[in-house]
């Protein structure tokens, strides 16, 4: 079993798109092209990540932006977090934190319970 380098979920053997930059779901990887983003390995000796400002080692997987934007970032910075502990700086920045998702799920659960109580009361009145 592989883990997708973009969404982080497990990839079945039938759906894996293997590259030298990592393993991906075919749909995740194809979606990058339509968004104007490409994955490659860093060919420069002195490249700097535009998100975390750290040096990118030659041969490391990077994200490149198409359309005349001359910027490169670490694969991990764009699809995850720069240090593994804080919120994402790139593609996952809009994703809610686990605590926020838990609070939202709890609110939805409370609303569903309240609605089911009202429906139950109306049905038995």
Residues 105 and 88 in one domain: no
Give the CA distances from residue 119 to residues 15, 29, 116, in Å, rounded to whole numbers and listed in that order. 43, 45, 5
Question: Are both 33 and 90 inside the same structural domain?
Answer: yes
Q: Retrieve residue 89's tokens.
A: 């700086």
> CATH number for the domain including 17?
3.30.1740
Provide the number of structural domains found in the chain.
2
pLDDT digits (tens, 9 = 90+) for 2-24: 777 777 778 888 888 887 767 88
What confidence category does residue 86 fall into, taking pLDDT thresholds of 50, 70 and 90? low
116: containing domain? 95-125
Q: Highest mean pLDDT: which of 38-47, 80-89, 107-116?
A: 107-116
Statement to judge: residues 58 and 79 lie in one domain: yes
pLDDT digits (tens, 9 = 90+) for 24-76: 888 887 777 777 777 888 888 888 888 788 898 888 888 887 655 567 888 77
Is-above-0.75 flag for pTM? no
Whether residue 87 sits in one domain with residue 41: yes
Q: Which residue, among 75, 73, 38, 79, has the nearest Cα to 52 in the 3D structure?
A: 73
Among residues 66, 93, 78, 67, the alpha carbon closest in space to that of 21 is found at 78
Q: Are residues 104 and 64 in the same domain?
A: no
Cα 116 to Cα 61: distance, rounded to the nearest angstrom: 50
Regarding whether 118 and 102 lie in a shared domain, the answer is: yes
5-10: Cβ within 8 A, 24+ apart: 5/61, 5/75, 5/79, 6/32, 6/79, 6/91, 8/79, 8/80
């Amino acid at each position: 079993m592989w883990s997708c380098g973009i969404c982080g979920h497990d990839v079945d053997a039938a759906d894996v798109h293997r590259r030298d930059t990592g393993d991906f779901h075919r749909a995740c990887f194809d979606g990058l092209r339509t968004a104007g983003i490409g994955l490659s390995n860093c060919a420069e000796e002195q490249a700097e990540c535009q998100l975390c400002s750290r040096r990118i080692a030659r041969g490391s997987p990077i994200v490149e932006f198409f359309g005349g934007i001359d910027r490169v970032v670490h694969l991990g910075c764009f699809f995850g977090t720069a240090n593994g502990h804080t919120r994402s700086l790139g593609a996952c920045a809009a994703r809610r934190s686990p605590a926020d998702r838990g609070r939202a799920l709890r609110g939805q659960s409370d609303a569903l319970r309240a609605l089911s109580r009202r429906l139950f009361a109306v049905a038995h009145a």
